[in-house]
Structures are given as C-alpha cells and as structure tokens.
Amino acid sequence: MLENNRELIKKLNKIGIALSAERNVDKLLEIILEESMKITGADAGSIYIKEECNNKECLRFKITKNISRKFEWSEFTLNIDKKSIAGYCAYSKEVLNIENLDNLSKLDGISYNRAFDQKINYKSVNMLVIPMLNYDFDVVGVVQLLNKKKDRSIVFDKVEDIEKEIIPFTLEEEEIIESLSAQAGILIERTVLHDEIQELLSSFINAMVGTIDARDITTSGHSRRLAGYALHFGKIINKVDYGKYKDTKFNDDEIKELYYSALLHDIGKIGVEEAVLQKENRLSNENIELIKYRFKYLKIILKNNIKYAEIYNELDFYLEFILSLNKIGFLDDEKEKLLKEIYGIKISLEDEEINLLSDFEYENLSIKRGNLTNEERQKINSHAIHSKAILEKVNWSKKLRNVPEIAGSHHEKINGTGYPNKLKDEEICIQARILAILDIFEALTARDRPYKPATPVEKAIQIFEFEVKDNHLDKDLFEIFIKERIFDLYKEELDKIIKI
C-alpha cells in the first residue's frame, strides 16, 4: 500500500511538471484527460471548457477519448444549468460520482441520452464528473470520466461485455482527480491569460504599425512586408547547412523577436516632422507654384526690357528645366552646371532685385541623389534613435527584450559607417544585420511608392552586390538571401498591392 502511494505521488509530480511546462491549451487538455483516465482506469472521457456563448457562459465539448471505440466527433456547446450532467457539475461546482447512469433520480430532472452510445455501439455505465476550478473557485471546465474497468487493459469489443466489467469510481480517485482538475484549471486559466496577453501585445504592435503607415503614407505597408520577409529569413537560417551561419538556430521566441523588431523598426518616424517624412520631390508643390508665379511675373516685367532680353527669351526653357529637375532621382554634372548658372542669375530693377531661384530652392534642386537635403537626411536618420528610445520604454518580456536593440540597429553597416551608433562587424546583432538587408531590398523593390518606380529584382541584387563589396552588408547573410531565393517570397502579394 505504502509503495503504491509512493508510485502515485511520483506519477502525480510527473504529471504536474508536464502540465506546468505546457503552453498549448489543446495539448494541456490532452494531458489532463489521458492521465485522468490512466489513474482511474476509465475506458472513456471528455473535457468541456467554459467560454462565452451569445453573451452568456456555456461549456464547449472540447476533447474526448474512448479506448474501446474509434469514432468521429465535433465540438458543441452546453448551457451551464441543471439540464445536463456536465452543465449540472459546472453549475453546482460539485463532484458527481454516478454509479449507474440508468438511475439519475438524485440529480433533479437529469436523464442520460443514450443516442450517442447507440451510434457507436457502446454503453456508458458509470461516470465521474469533476469541475475544474481556478484560484477564485470559478469553473474553468469539466472533466468527465466514463466506465471504470476492473482490468485497465481490457478493450470492449462487444457492448454486452461492458456492464459486467465495470466497477465504481472510488472516493480516493474522486479526491485525486479533483486535485488534478484544480491544478489543471489554474494552469488552463494561466495559459489562456498568457495567450490573451500575447494577443494584446500583437494587437498593440499592429496598432503601432498602423500609426506608422498613417504617419508616412508614402511607405505604407513597408513594415508589414519587411516583417514577412524577416519571418521567412529566420526560418530559412534554421535549415541552412552551409557557410558562416550553418550552426545558427533561432528558437520560436527569437523568431518572434525578429518579427516584432521588423514590424516596429520604423516606429521612430512618428518623431520626424511630416514635411520631411512625406517629401516626394526635391521641392513641394507649394514651392513649385511659387517658382511658376515668379517666372510668370518676370515674363510680364521683362517683356520689353532690352537689358534682360536674353534672359527673357530663356525663361520658358529655364522653368521647364527646373520642373523636370524637381522629380529626377540623380543630378548629373551637366544638369548641375546649368542649375548653378540659373541660380546665379539676378535681375536688378529700380526698386527690387529678383533671383530666379532662392537659396532654399537651389539647395533642394541641387541634391545630387534622391530628394533630401543633408539636414533633412539627418532628421530622417534620427528615426532609428527614436525607434530604440520608444521601444525601450515598453516593458518587454525576457524573451523579447532585444526588440529595441534589433529595431534600432537596422541602419548600421558592417564597416561602421551606418547610423545611429556607427556599430561595426559583430557589434551588430545578427537579427539587425538581417533587417539591414531586407529593409533596403523592400524599399528598392516596393511597387507602391508614389515618388519612384519599383527597382527590378535583378537590378536590386546588383546594387546589393556593390553594398556587400563596400562592406556595408553581411556577405554571408546576403549569400543566404540569394541562394535560398528569399527575394521571391512576396511577389504575388506585391502584385496584389499594385492592383488594389
């Protein structure tokens, strides 16, 4: 007897450890049901979980097992009331040890429906029904065990053999399963709460990403696409059997960390002024209209001015040149020379002096590549600092604590010329190096940017090769990016975005 008790204690401890380690509710329920059936010698069993049904609490038939019968089943719900056995157990919070299901007189008004037994050629004789309770003594679910066997190894082939092999569930078994169910109830609530917290975090992050998209409509969707690439890249690295990173393996939490970092890498853009963030051309439409007005005015006042006749004749050409210059991506030497000549033209009249271009206009039009001045570029670059600062204020769990560092380092370069901290080589974590590649690729190939056409994938890869050669990007990660064709991942999704 003493030895049996020791074995039982060991078994219960082992079950407790298994339950505590499990985070998946469905697997948790499987463990609870299987172990409860083993401990009691039950031939069958089910578990119901409490949930909300049409603004009231109900029980969902969540899992069932039967050693002697294999059958298809589906989930359904029961009211928590006195009309069913499981519902009565949840309603009363009482343990029900029913020795004979044909005699339920003590359970006011309840009868056992034999329809399912008949369908699977089975007979339920007795039943032990235990409420799963949490810390607050609230019902979380119900464990329902059927047909305790004399010999646990018996499998009932014939329905007529069942009743003679069934014995009552004992008081000791009631207490053991009640204790196990209480532990399970607490763990299920913990797991559900954990899942709800994860869902809250996920919805919060998606709301923040939505804020970024609303703040910078020119790059809307960028963070979500980048996160998709990052998620895929993280999983691919785990399968790679070559190169520097063949032994690098990301666990589920590290992949989630990479995914969240990708989603939030640009959150710092909410700290960048809108005029800079949404700048589409070298000069805004308002600035261009001002130049047009100035040239129109000059056409009027210089029409019969012999001194400025040569300039007057070139005004239309100059204006067309300026308008074309406003939208180009690269300023070559020839255009730069002509722009400087136009900027140097000053018209002196009796009461005023007019420049064809102001200092501000010239500064923006003379940008060699892109459409941002050095000052504006610094403001944009500051988003990485803002991203890290914002994310550091979030109380991340231990498993996600690196999100601020990863997100804030996606513009660092291997040779130390990146920003904001000029990190180099191994100072940059691998996740940030992955994002550095993916961020550039997505930005180059994005087909929904209003200020530029999409760069073909082949051309983007050529640009990447120069970046790797200049020691800006991790060459080993770039090798994986190319060899595993990660750049192919979102072709269909990107096509869909264009059609919308």
| 100-137 pLDDT per residue, tens | 888 775 566 677 788 889 999 999 999 999 998 888 88
What pLDDT does residue 497 have?
Answer: 38
At 210, which helix (H) or strand (E)?
helix 171-215
Under 8 Å CB-to-CB from 161, ≥6 apart: which residues?
none
Domain check: are 67 and 148 in the same one?
A: yes
Residue 93 is assigned to a structural domain of this protein: yes
Please tell me the total count of domains within the chain. 3
pTM to 2 decimal places: 0.65
Residue 305 is assigned to a structural domain of this protein: yes
Nearest to 128 by CA among 163, 150, 99: 99
CA 404 to centroid of chain Cα atoms: 16
Domain check: are 19 and 133 in the same one?
A: yes
Range of the domain at 437: 216-275+379-499
Q: What's the CA gap between 35 and 21, in Å, rounded?
A: 15
Residue that finishes a domain, picked among 336, 371, 406: 371
Domain check: are 494 and 456 in the same one?
A: yes
Residue that finishes a domain, picked among 162, 194, 226: 194
Domain check: are 189 and 230 in the same one?
A: no
Domain check: are 489 and 401 in the same one?
A: yes
pLDDT band at 450 (very low <50, low <70, confident <90, very high): low
Residue 201 is assigned to a structural domain of this protein: no
CATH code of the domain covering residue 388: 1.10.3210.10
Of residues 244 and 18, more confidently modeled: 244
Domain check: are 364 and 391 in the same one?
A: no
Residue whose structure tokens are 């020691």: 471
Residue 207 is assigned to a structural domain of this protein: no
Q: Are 80 and 87 in contact (CB under 8 A)?
A: yes
Give me 125's structure tokens. 């004789």
Q: List alpha helices for 309-429, DSSP H.
A: 309-325, 333-343, 359-365, 374-381, 383-392, 403-408
396-422 pLDDT per residue, tens: 889 899 999 999 999 999 999 998 999
CATH code of the domain covering residue 42: 3.30.450.40
Domain check: are 83 and 180 in the same one?
A: yes
Domain check: are 385 and 476 in the same one?
A: yes
What pLDDT does residue 9 have?
Answer: 54
359-396 pLDDT per residue, tens: 999 999 998 888 888 888 888 778 888 889 989 998 88
Residue that finishes a domain, picked among 316, 341, 371: 371
Domain check: are 156 and 271 in the same one?
A: no
